[in-house]
Chain A
């Protein structure tokens, strides 16, 4: 009964390729997020969607495009991968944003390695 799941768990690819990471939550939450954790373990928000609407877009290169087909899914597509994109990408979800203190629940992460 995984609450927030991501696929794939590991992704190894060449520079210049395009790849996608998928995220699904079965918690019935309205809001989903993408975070990036770099090699120094620093975590930073990238995007969030609330009911399929983009609400956070944090100075992320436009090679990164989130897509939310429904409120249970938030996928991350990355074009023209670069070495600096190597990181662990975490998906998270929360009940919503209206409460301003909603707990975010994280997926297991996708480790992306760009060669």
Chain B
């Protein structure tokens, strides 16, 4: 069975500082890992995914994520946060026979000016 944990309900960061949103996962077999972002009253937008290959995955809006197999983590990062990055971020293992996404509880990112 697949599961995912986002240990922080909220992350606060000052604009211009680097940000990290944490995610750990448990999957059987090869992991397919996704990050989505949800802005207030909007649908989910795809940021990036890891399938195989390079452990550092680059995505939309300057975000990247680092896959760490030994720590079963897939943390989302950005070198310099923007106020407009403030949103709810979801980590989700996916794939499997049905391509079902198992969403984490979400982490609210608040970037202060």
How many Å lie between the Cα of A42 and that of B44 in the bound state? 13
Question: At the interface, is chain B mostly helix, strand, loop or mixed?
Answer: loop
B98 touches A55 (CB 8 A): yes
Chain A residues near B (Cβ < 8 Å) = 4, 31, 35, 40-45, 48, 55-56, 90, 92, 94, 96-97, 99-109
Selected A-B contacts with CB under 8 Å, 25 pairs? A41-B38, A41-B88, A43-B103, A43-B106, A45-B101, A56-B98, A56-B100, A90-B44, A92-B44, A96-B99, A97-B97, A97-B99, A100-B97, A101-B49, A101-B51, A101-B94, A103-B34, A103-B46, A103-B49, A104-B34, A104-B101, A106-B45, A108-B43, A109-B42, A109-B43
Interface residues of B (CB under 8 A from A): 32, 34, 36, 38, 42-46, 49, 51, 88, 90, 94-103, 105-106
